[in-house]
Amino acid sequence: MAIHIGKKIKEELYKQGITVSTFAKKINRSRNVVYDIFERESIDTALLNKIGMILRLDFFSIYSDQKEYKKEGVQLLYVKDEKTAYNSHSDQLKALEKQNELLLSEISYLKKIVTLMEEKKKKTPAVKRLKK
C-alpha cells in the first residue's frame, strides 16, 4: 500500500488543532504551498523533517515498521512501535548494553592498532621514513 504523506500531514495538523495559517508560518511557506503539500504523495526529506519537528511526529517511521542497519559489527534498531521490538524496558536496556559492549570492544581494538602503529614508527629510523 502506497503512503500518501500529504494526507498524513494534513490528518496530524487537524488532529492537533493547528490552523493552516499558523502551520504555514512555522514552516516558512505560504498557505497555498501547505495545501499543495496536502496533495503530495511524496515530499522532500528536509521539509518532512522540519514538518515532523513542528508537529512533534516522526513521519519517517510511517515508511517502516522495523529496519535493521548494520555497520562494522554494531547493530542499531530503528522501530516504529517500541512494543514491536522490545517487550519491556529491561529488554531495551539489554539491547543497549550489548551495543555498548560492542562499541567498547571496537574502541579497545582501535587503541591496540594505534599503539602498534606508534611502536612501529619509533622502531623505523627517520631516514627510512623520509625515503618512502
Q: What are the structural domains of the chain? A: 5-63 (1.10.260.40), 66-126 (no CATH)
**DSSP assignment letter at 30:** -
pTM for the full predicted model:
0.48
Asked if pLDDT for residue 65 goes beyond 80, the answer is: no
Asked if pLDDT for residue 82 goes beyond 70, the answer is: no
The predicted-structure confidence for 8-35, as pLDDT tens digits, reads as follows 999 999 999 999 999 999 999 999 999 9
> How many Å apart are CA 21 and CA 5, to the nearest integer?
19
Beta bridge partners of 74: 71
Asked if pLDDT for residue 62 goes beyond 90, the answer is: no
